[in-house]
Amino acid sequence: MEFTARQIATFLHGEVVGNQEVIINSVSKIEEGIPGTLTFLANPKYNSYLYETKASVVLINKSLVLEKEVEPTLIRVENAYDALAKLMEIYVQSIPVKTGIEMPSFINSSATVDSDTYVGAFAYLDEGVKIGKNVQIYPHCFVGKNVEIEDNTVLFSGVKVYPECKIGKNCILHSGVVIGSDGFGFAPEKDGTYKKLHQIGNVIIHNDVEIGANTTIDCATMGSTIIRSGVKIDNLVQIAHNVDVGENTVMAAFVGVSGSSKIGKNCIFGGQAGVAGHLKIGNNVTLGGKTGASNDIEDNKILMGEWGMDASKFRRVYAVFRNLPDLYKDLYQLRREVKNLKAE
């Protein structure tokens, strides 16, 4: 598909600076731009590439002040990153949606599957399954007994959904996601062995949730593990049994949340952050990368570091930590001087 800079600017309510009729038919990164493509500049770190790129059109923020003339046509918008997201959404929506049932696949006779559903080869839909409209189930997916999947949800290849789980509308589950696997529950015995505590609950995922590749969400011991609307979870995240994740919370890769913890709304967890079990994390809480939460956290807190310190305190502590070698040298020298003074 081809578009002119003027057409793109009209859609984005942007202002064209340069040739309004230049045509683009693809996109590129600003540092690798080639003629005929559109790119964007949102991070000041990449400002220098604006004056070097060979892309034909560049989306930039209205607030950006140019240091010199540029070769490509510019489209000034309020937020270049948001504008690019809108264009990408249009592109994805233009891709034809698959429908129909590929063979070989297995759909139990008691399953309810809408006529617009796509079921890829080697997928397995167990008894009592209910599938909504426009659902996409790619090859090698497993959908267990009595699972419910609502409209417009996508399960990419290799997703496994254990029995009794429920998935809402407009969700995306990427390859390798496992929903409803057993929580980590074992009772220690007197002889040093462990007896399995069977997990008989399920997982409920609300609307507009996206879950990254190879993430696992365990079923509840009893009741439900709940992922509420608008949550975005990265690849390789572990959500344990009976966890409740609040609306619009986001988690980066390698986050781990232990059993029965409650996560508030609009939280942000950086990569490798961890939450201990049975905690209550408030709304609008931010955990920096590798931050460990071992106690309840109040609303609107920003924590950093392995021990989950307040961010401002952590920065002060870290500044001292970085200088420890020099401080130790000073201390060692002072001890020698005190020792000499005493000797005299």
For residue 117, what are the β-bridge partners?
none
Cα-based distances in Å from 77 to 23, 67, 178, 208, 216: 19, 18, 40, 27, 38
For residue 286, what are the β-bridge partners?
268, 302
Q: Helices (H) and strands (E) in the chain — how many of each?
A: 4, 40
d(CA 25, CA 27): 7
- Residue 61 exposed, middle or buried by CB count within 10 Å (0-12, 13-18, 19+): middle
Backbone angles phi, psi at 341, to 5 degrees: -65, -40
- Residue 130 exposed, middle or buried by CB count within 10 Å (0-12, 13-18, 19+): middle
Q: Report helix, strand or coil for 42.
A: coil
Radius of gyration of the chain (CA): 27
Is 241 labeled as catalytic in the residue annotation?
A: yes
The DSSP secondary structure of 168-187, one letter per residue, reads -TT-EE-TT-EEEEPP--EE
Q: Which residues contact 24 (CB under 8 A, 6 or more apart)?
A: 2, 3, 4, 5, 8, 36, 37, 38, 56, 57
Biggest distance spanned by C-alpha atoms of the chain: 97
From the candidates 174, 198, 206, 241, which is the catalytic residue?
Answer: 241
Strand 250-251 relative to strand 268-269, pairing: parallel
Q: Where are the beta strands (DSSP E) in 94-184?
A: 100-101, 106-107, 112-113, 118-119, 124-125, 130-131, 136-137, 142-143, 148-149, 154-155, 160-161, 166-167, 172-173, 178-181
Which residues participate in catalysis according to the annotation? 241
